[in-house]
Amino acid sequence: MSYPEPPIVAALRAVLPADRILTDPALTSGYSHDEAEWAPYGQPAAVARPRNTEEVASVVRACAQLRVPVVPRGAGTGLSGGANAVDGCVLLSLEAMREILEIDRGERLAVVQPGVVNDVLRATVAEHGLWYPPDPASAPWSTIGGNVSTNAGGLCCVKYGVTRDYVLALEVVTADGEIVRLGRRTAKGVAGYDMVSLLVGSEGTLAVITEATLKLRPLRTAPARTVVGFFDTLEAVGEAVASVTAAGLQPAIFELVDRHCLRAVEEWKRMALPLDAAALLLAQSDLVGQAGEDEAAAILAEFQRAGARDAIASTDPAEAEALFDARRLAYPALEQRGDAVLTEDVCLPRAKLATMLERIEQISARHQVLIANVAHAGDGNLHPMMITPRHDEAARARSQAAFEEIVDTAIDLGGTVTGEHGVGLLKRRGMRRELGPAAVRLQRAIKAAWDPADLLNPGKVLG
């Protein structure tokens, strides 16, 4: 039996070529959710795949006229449900908008469409002697539009900042389909309210990003010095992080990988990682010459002072890359085992990192859930991952309870419920608790001003 198409599908066919529209559920289902475990999602009426800003505006206008929700989507690598469909929506996939429109070496900037993959941008600007620092773990697949929408971070953010620090200007389509340019290309500028910073991290709830002007840095050419320390207790790991920070040291990368992640990576890739350590810390100095040697030596000394069982400094790029692979591969290594992986993203004051790790161990024991941890240790951004056998509803309930307790513990310790993954669907309760009623009212007022009909990514962030 065939059913008549929803009116929005006919409206889309009037503004987009047929090959830009998907309506077959067998095809649209792959677009209906991101990587957030157990985050709810609905069935879209259609997936629209525009290739330029004008087509995006046409889609949004058609949806506005028919009061149909629009859910923008990049590569779908998110971990909070921020790109999940609601029933009857148009999923606006920006994956085909992947042109690097301009690279200006003199001004150190790039202008890109939202579907450009992070690693593609980094490799392309490197050919011009430039560097784009934000480097989320999903950089080989995630897109700049998604990175901007969630204010993505990454390994380098401890020293070089997150996505917001590199967005100079945006072209966006508003909820009524108007194309607007915001921001600037200049190094400085304070004309009016900072709308660009408002949109960075707004998760598609205020406007659809169709172009981004990004600040770049000179390409780093000095050989990096990597320091690795293996620790027998998480308490010692926390002390090492605190002591490096207290000493005024600023490694370019400062990462933590716990024993559960080490074991998963070792079982998968056979990298000769020590499986009896509680965790490893990885730090890297990118300072030039003697300054880099001195910083690496100082970090090494702090690791040893905190009780590292084994700590070394190395300038061997192959050895360093292998160690950082252990960090980058942690999530896929856990996932490829076949279990469900519910990933947290909380950020603590660095002095509270050791306390938070201890609390996570207690939460793990209390809820009988295996919790693995990786972290951007240098800025206190923890990613606890709850490992749960699939099709075990009791285990799933325990994991979700542990997830919520970690959120509350982070708030209680003066932290935030999300450092870089965004609120999406999974962190709405925690965000409301963290911000308080007055701040939530202000945010709702902003949403109402930009999107009075609540058509852009409804239900996300504020709920």
What average pLDDT score do residues 132-161 get? 95
- Give me the CATH topology for the region 100-218: 3.30.465
What average pLDDT score do residues 282-290 get? 93
What is the C-alpha to C-alpha distance for residues 373 and 141, in angstroms, rounded to an integer?
Answer: 22
Helix (H) or strand (E) holding 296: helix 289-305
What average pLDDT score do residues 206-229 get? 94
According to CATH, where is 3.30.465.10 located in the chain? 100-218
Map tokens 């800003």 to a residue: 53
pLDDT digits (tens, 9 = 90+) for 376-430: 999 999 999 999 999 999 999 999 999 999 999 999 999 999 999 999 999 999 9
What average pLDDT score do residues 78-100 get? 97
Average pLDDT, the chain: 95
Q: 154-158, 160-164, 369-373: which range is least confident on average?
A: 154-158
In 109-166 the beta strands, taken as DSSP E runs, fall at 109-112, 130-131
What's the pLDDT at 61? 98
Residue 1 pLDDT > 60, yes or no?
no
Residue type, 74: G
- Give me the CATH topology for the region 7-93: 3.30.43
pLDDT digits (tens, 9 = 90+) for 430-445: 999 999 999 999 999 9
What is the C-alpha to C-alpha distance for residues 154 and 119, in angstroms, rounded to an integer?
Answer: 12
Q: Is residue 435 within 8 Å of residue 427, measured between CB atoms?
A: no
Beta partners for residue 226, in sequence order: 284, 314
Residue 284 pLDDT > 80, yes or no?
yes
Q: Is residue 421 within 8 Å of residue 399, measured between CB atoms?
A: no
From 200, 184, 203, select the one nearest 192 (Cα to Cα).
184
According to CATH, where is 3.30.43.10 located in the chain? 7-93
pLDDT digits (tens, 9 = 90+) for 11-68: 999 999 999 999 999 999 999 999 999 999 999 999 999 999 999 999 999 999 999 9
Q: Is residue 28 within 8 Å of residue 73, measured between CB atoms?
A: no
Give ∠ CA 57-6-98 in degrees, rounded to 5. 35
What's the pLDDT at 4? 78
In eight-state DSSP terms, residue 85 is: -
The band of 3, judged by pLDDT with boundaries at 50, 70 and 90, is: low
Is the whole-model pTM more than 0.85?
yes
According to CATH, where is 3.30.70.2190 located in the chain? 222-321
CATH of 222-321, one of 3.30.70.2190, 3.40.50.10130, 2.30.30.90, 2.60.40.60: 3.30.70.2190
